[in-house]
């Protein structure tokens, strides 16, 4: 049972309890493999990224929020003390979206402004995931204890044979010093909103982060959809990277070849479309709430 909420509604206890339970079950299924590995102190070079780089624990995904403008009947006992919730009608609760927007004004404006700018910008699809290659250019200090598919010299040659077009600062900041001047333009944090574009894999993964930053303003199904998108993007990101992940079950997308480039762009466009749909959906929710 999935609820798509576009107008203020009241949910009976049995309805929202079921939605919350189903959300938690879906979240548990999505994080089961990671939680199992973590209990054994096992690392995974692809999937751990969603819990280490973004530093959000699986438990945060289990907490279902209905989004703004939805009254949870009989929810005062369970959620009356939750942050960013308010009691209405004595025994009912709803998300205190106005309070969130006021007390987290800078964060709210920054996140929605970036999402809006990225949503309204055309995608660029010619980077071929070379940011991962630039992070190991002319260095022995790779970010993962995994061999390079083409070796160090072969990896450097791929970087030197291509035009680096990274537009995402949080990828660019991990470039080796030798790779930094090879990018088309220098990037900085302040210029992110002017450069972020929906073709970028890392911008697509970050939709998950931005939804988490907006907390209870984001309906649960959108948050989990964003997590799934981030997971799928991460897989392509690493398959197109210079690392040899075949022992981990990932076949390479060999972007040093014409066929690999074509496959990368094909998947990149599909992932970008999903990211744009999620940006539009969450902006629709928060804009509708702010207009009330």
Give me the residue label for tokens 């308010």. 86
Domain ranges of the chain: 9-127+189-291
Quick one: average pLDDT of 110-121?
Answer: 97
pLDDT of residue 291: 87
**Three-point CA angle 169, 244, 49, nearest 5°:** 45
Residue environment code for 250-262, b if the CB has 16+ CB neighbours within 10 A, otherwise e: bebbbbbeeebbe
pLDDT greater than 90 at residue 7: no
Q: Is 234 left (phi over 0), alpha (psi -120 to 50) or beta?
A: alpha
Reported as a single tens digit per residue, the pLDDT across 60-74 is: 999 999 999 999 999
- Across the chain, what does the average pLDDT equal? 94
Q: For residue 152, what are the CA distances in angstroms to 159, 199, 251, 256, 291?
A: 11, 28, 19, 14, 55
Q: How confident is the model at residue 8 (pLDDT cuts 50, 70, 90)?
A: low
Reported as a single tens digit per residue, the pLDDT across 210-238 is: 999 999 999 999 999 999 999 999 999 99
Instruction: Provide the 3-class DSSP secondary structure of residue 88.
Output: strand
pLDDT of residue 4: 42
Looking only at the bridges linking them, the beta strands covering 70-72 and 9-11 are: parallel
Q: Which residues contact 235 (CB under 8 A, 6 or more apart)?
A: 46, 250
Reported as a single tens digit per residue, the pLDDT across 130-143 is: 999 999 999 987 77
Reported as a single tens digit per residue, the pLDDT across 48-100 is: 999 999 989 999 999 999 999 999 999 999 999 999 999 998 899 999 999 99
Closest CA to 69 of 95, 49, 45: 95
pLDDT of residue 89: 87
pLDDT of residue 5: 43
């Amino acid at each position: 049972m999935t609820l798509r909420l576009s107008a203020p509604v009241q949910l009976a206890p049995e309805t929202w309890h079921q939605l919350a339970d189903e959300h938690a079950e879906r979240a548990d299924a999505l994080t089961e493999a990671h939680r199992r590995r973590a209990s054994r102190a096992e690392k995974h070079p692809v999937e751990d990224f969603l819990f280490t780089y973004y530093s959000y624990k699986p438990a945060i995904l289990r907490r279902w929020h209905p989004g703004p403008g939805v009254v949870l009947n009989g929810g005062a006992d369970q959620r009356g003390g939750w942050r960013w919730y308010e009691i209405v009608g004595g025994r009912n609760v709803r998300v205190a979206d106005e309070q969130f927007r006021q007390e987290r004004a800078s964060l709210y404006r920054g996140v929605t402004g970036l999402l809006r700018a990225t949503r309204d910008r055309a995608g660029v699809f010619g980077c071929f995931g070379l940011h991962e290659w630039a992070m190991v250019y002319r260095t022995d200090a790779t970010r993962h204890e995994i061999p390079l598919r083409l070796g160090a010299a072969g990896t450097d040659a791929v970087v030197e044979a291509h035009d680096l077009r990274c537009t995402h600062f949080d990828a660019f900041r991990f470039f080796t010093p030798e790779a930094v001047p090879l990018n088309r333009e220098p990037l900085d944090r302040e210029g992110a909103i002017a450069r972020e574009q929906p073709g970028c894999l890392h911008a697509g993964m970050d939709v998950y982060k931005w939804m988490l930053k907006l907390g209870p303003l984001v309906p649960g199904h959108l948050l989990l959809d964003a997590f799934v998108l981030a997971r799928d993007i991460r897989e392509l990101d690493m398959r197109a990277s210079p690392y040899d992940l075949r022992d981990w079950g990932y076949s390479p997308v060999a972007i040093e070849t014409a066929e690999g480039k074509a496959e990368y762009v094909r998947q990149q466009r599909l992932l970008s479309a999903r990211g744009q749909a999620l940006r539009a959906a969450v902006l629709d929710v928060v804009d509708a709430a702010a207009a009330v």
